[in-house]
Structure 1
Amino acid sequence: MKLAGVQLAVEGGDVEGNVERALDRVRAAAEEGADLVVLPELFDVGYFAFDAYGRAAESIAGDRLARFAAAADEEDVAVLAGTVVEDLSASAADGLDVPAESGLANAAVLFDADGERRLVYRKHHLFGYGSEETDRMVPGERTPVVELGGVTVGVTTCYDLRFPEQFRAMVDAGVECVLVPSAWPYPRIEHWRTLGRARAIENLAYVAAINGSGRFGDDALCGRSAVYDPWGTALASVGDEPGIVTATVDPDRVATVREDFPALRDRR
């Protein structure tokens, strides 16, 4: 499976502009042969645009994500719309299972190449350090995995990288590739690099850590999106400017590494 991670230039509060840029990048990646396109955290509104969260919020069955489902179907490419501000009450009204009757969630939605919704992940670990996310968002409760193009895929989001037990639970569910849409800021570059690589090494799995690019007042995203293989080797990476990282995710490679170096079997 050819994966393309879009390090998108995100403009704070410019929902329509961000969505249009994201759709353009999805189409461009599909034209280059991608099987799966991954977008960064809160690409719709910008992570640090806290006051715009309420205005941006929609049901995950709403019109905005429907545009990504349509693009996935039209371009024959899977898309992780990865993440958006979800209005939980609106999603509940649309018949979706939600962690709370009201509030907002930081939600990632994975569409397959037919435009079908295959996975919804709501960020578990909400960031409170210099952030309003914990005040404005409701944490998720589930960490689903799904088979996509012959690869078992799971999703976490940004700050979740600091909590390795969540990744272990996905490994126990069979995950081979973890997608991590993020809005990781300066100055914690070494944390970003180290944690993505560490989660790949300790779980003998691919990790695609896809960050945004852009400045929000005093805050700026550090970019440096990367895809790590099951040994923790960076297969592709970029700097802090907008760009696309591409890599091939091979489930046979995961199986071989886990067979040759069976650390997962030695857990106690």
Structure 2
Amino acid sequence: MRLAGVQLEVEGGAVAENVDRALDRVAAAADEGADLVVLPELFDVGYFAFDSYGRAAESLAGDRLARFAAAADDHDVAVLAGTVVEDLSASAADGIDVPAESGLANAAVLFDADGERRLVYRKRHLFGYGSEETDRMVPGERTPVTEVAGVTVGVTTCYDLRFPEQFRAMVDAGVECVLVPSAWPYPRIEHWRTLGRARAIENLAYVAAVNGSGEFGDDALCGRSAVYDPWGTALASVGDDPGVVAATVDPERVAAVREEFPALRDRR
């Protein structure tokens, strides 16, 4: 599977512009041969644009995500629509299973190359340090996995990188590649680099850590998206400017590494 992680420039509160920019990048990545395109966390509204969350919130069956489903179908490419602000009551009204009857969630939606919704992941670990996410969002309860282009993938989001037990649960469910849409800010660059690599090493799996790029008043995203292989080697990486990390994710390599170095079998 050819994976393209789009380190998108995100403007706080500029939902229409951010969405148009993301759709352009999805089309460009598909033209370059991607099988799966991954967008950053809250790419539509901007993580630090807290006051815009309510205005940006929609059902997962709403018009905005429908555009990404259509783009996936049109370009024959799977799309992880980063994360968006989900209106849980609106999703429930549309028949979507939700963790609470009302409130907002930080939700990632994966569409397959036919534009069908294959996976929904709502961020489980909400960030409260210098952030309003814990006050404004409802945490998710599940960490599902699915198959894309012959690879078993799972999704976590940003702060989840600090909770390795969540990744272990996905390994037990057969995950071979974990997608991590993020809005990781300065100054914790070394944490970002170390945690993404560590999750790959300890789980002998690919990790695609896809961050945003941009400034939000006193806060700025550090970029530095990367794709790590099952040994923790960076296959592709970028700096803090907008860009793309592209790499081939090979499930046979996951199996070979786990056979060569069977640490997962030694768990107790």
Following superposition, the deviation at residue 200 of structure 1 comes to 0.1
* Structure 1 position 57, deviation (Å): 0.1
Q: Could you list the per-position Cα deviations for residues 16-45 of structure 1 after superposition, in whole angstroms to 9, with x for gaps in the alignment?
A: 000000000000000000000000000000
Deviations 1:66-115 (A, max 9, x none): 00000000000000001000000000000000000000000000000000
How many matched pairs? 268
In structure 1, C-alpha distance between the alignment counterparts of 2:168 and 2:61, rounded to whole Å:
30
Superposed, which structure 2 residues align to 1:185-224 within 5 Å?
Answer: 185-224=185-224
For 2:230 and 2:31, locate their aligned partners in 1 and report how far apart those are by CA, in whole Å.
Answer: 27
CA distance in 2 between counterparts of 1:187 and 1:142 reads 30
- Superposed CA offset, 1:186-229 (max 9, x none): 00000000000000000000000000000000000000000000
SS at match of 1:102: coil
Once residues 131 and 221 of structure 2 are traced to their aligned partners in structure 1, the CA distance between those partners, rounded to angstroms, is 14
**Which residue in 2 is equivalent to 1:232?**
232
- Deviations 1:211-254 (CA, angstroms, capped at 9, x unpaired): 00000000000000000000000000000000000000000000
Distance 1:172 1:33 in 2: 30
- Within 5 A, what are the aligned runs for 1:115-130? 115-130=115-130
Q: CA deviation at 1:182?
A: 0.0
Query: Does the residue aligned with 1:159 lie in a helix, a strand or coil?
Result: helix
- Deviation, 1:145, is 0.2
Please list the CA deviations of residues 150-192 of structure 1 after superposition, one character each: whole Å capped at 9, or x if unmatched.
Answer: 1000000000000000000000000000000000000000000
Q: Once the 2 structures are TM-superposed, how far is the Cα of residue 132 of structure 1 from its aligned partner?
A: 0.1
Aligned to 1:80: 80
How far apart are the structure 2 equivalents of 1:13 and 1:76?
30
For 2:175 and 2:244, the matched residues in 1 are separated by: 24
Give the deviation of 1:147 after TM superposition: 1.0
Distance 1:157 1:255 in 2: 25
Between the aligned partners of 2:237 and 2:122, the Cα distance in structure 1 is 26
Whole-angstrom distance in 1 between the partners of 2:227 and 2:147: 19
For residues 51 and 147 of structure 1, what CA distance do their matches in structure 2 show? 36
Q: Which runs of 4+ in 1 moved over 6 A?
A: none
- Secondary structure in structure 1 of the residue aligned to 2:82: strand
Distance 2:135 2:60 in 1: 21
Could you tell me which residue of structure 1 aligns to residue 168 of structure 2?
A: 168
Provide the secondary structure at the position in 1 that maps to 2:259: helix
What TM-score, normalized by structure 1, do the two folds share? 1.00
Deviation for aligned residue 1:257: 0.1
Residue 258 of structure 1 aligns to a residue in which SS? helix
Please provide the CA RMSD for this pair: 0.2
Aligned sequence identity (%): 91
Query: Which whole-Å CA distance do the structure 1 matches of 2:251 and 2:72 have between them?
Result: 23
Residue number in structure 2 paired with 1:63: 63
Aligned residue number for residue 44 of structure 2: 44
Match of 1:135 in 2: 135
Give the whole-Å Cα distance in 2 for the aligned partners of 1:245 and 1:82.
Answer: 15
Give CA deviations for 1:111-133 in whole Å, capped at 9, x if unaligned: 00000000000000000000000
Deviation of the 1:146 alpha carbon: 0.3
- What is the CA–CA distance in structure 1 between the aligned matches of 2:120 and 2:172, rounded to whole Å? 19
2-side partners of 1:40 and 1:61: how far apart?
Answer: 20
Q: Secondary structure at the match of 2:74?
A: helix
Q: Secondary structure at the match of 2:125?
A: coil
SS in 1 for 2:221: strand
Secondary structure at the aligned position of 2:159 is classed as: helix
How far off is 1:148 after superposition? 1.1
